[in-house]
Amino acid sequence: MTSGSATQGQREPNRNDDFVGTALGPQWHWQANPRSEWAHLPGDGTLHLAVPAVDRGNVRDIPCVLSQPLPGRPSEVTTSLRLESDVTGARAGLVVLGIDYAWIGLVQSRAGVNLVCRRMATAQAEDTMAEHTVTQHTVPRHRLDSTHGSPTVSVRAATDGMGLVRFSWSIDDRATWHRVALPFQAVPGQWIGAEIGLFACAPIGAGEARSEDTQGSAVFGAVEFAIKPVSDEGTS
């Protein structure tokens, strides 16, 4: 099920998704022709994204990014996620996607799960804006947690009227938010404007598997948009 919001003088399209249905809402689209195994919605308020071994290190080249246009006004996008993969290098997160991109989420390392925020500029490698080690012992139990033992974190992307994005995360069920010090400037993609999306993937060859094989899953909670009303723009 999806929900929308209206603003004075301008109607905002449906953006939020609480994932209580068993099909994706029409606000979402994939970066390539979708495969049925990329997403599963059990109808319990969660979205399960497969973790296919298709990652060459550039999120722009990943076909299984589920996205929608970034709002053209100041906004906050918040969700929660858990990464259920034992494959080193598997990752999942919330991404602001264009010719340049930045994302915040989880990466599986040999030692455990790290929360990271990374960005990439055109023709360059990703660089790390923030990194934090998270363990099940330091993260309170969450309704998304499972017997896999992976921690659940909340992540947020807040965008101002000029497209400057500030990422933040919470590991205590949103009681405390930690903001990434460096902002990111959202830019359009090659053919369309900047987008906000969810993704999950593992390195090509991970687990000695074929690229089509899934290396676990990433479980996302509701995606919530808070968009500043038009009447509030230009006010403090």
Q: How confident is the model at residue 150 (pLDDT cuts 50, 70, 90)?
A: confident
The three state secondary structure string of the chain is: CEECCEECCEECCCCEECCCCCCCCCCCEECCCCCHHHEECCCCCCEEEEEEEEECCCHHHCCCCEEEECCCCCEEEEEEEEEECCCCCCEEEEEEECCCEEEEEEEECCCCEEEEEEEECCCCCCEEEEEEEECCCCCCCCCCCCCCCCCEEEEEEEECCCCEEEEEEECCCCCCCEECCCCEECCCCCCCCCEEEEEEEEECCHHHCCCCCEEEEEEECCEEEEECCHHHCCCC
72/130 Cα distance (integer angstroms) = 26
Confidence (pTM): 0.88
Measured on CA atoms in the order 59, 77, 30, 73, is the torsion positive or negative?
negative
Higher pLDDT, 209 or 21: 21
70/194 Cα distance (integer angstroms) = 6
Q: How confident is the model at residue 236 (pLDDT cuts 50, 70, 90)?
A: very low
Please compute the mean of the pLDDT values over residues 30-41 and round it to a whole number. Answer: 94
Structural domains for the chain? 6-227 (2.60.120.200)
* pLDDT higher than threshold 60 for residue 141: no
Beta strands 10-11 and 6-7 are antiparallel
Highest mean pLDDT (candidates 40-54, 147-161, 178-192): 40-54
pLDDT at 7: 41
* pLDDT higher than threshold 80 for residue 190: no
Mean pLDDT, rounded, of the chain? 87
Give tens-digit pLDDT for 88-107.
999 999 999 999 999 999 99
pLDDT at 189: 83
* pLDDT higher than threshold 50 for residue 113: yes
Give tens-digit pLDDT for 48-71.
999 999 999 999 999 999 999 999
Distance between start and end Cα atoms, the chain? 34
Please compute the mean of the pLDDT values over residues 115-136 and round it to a whole number. Answer: 88
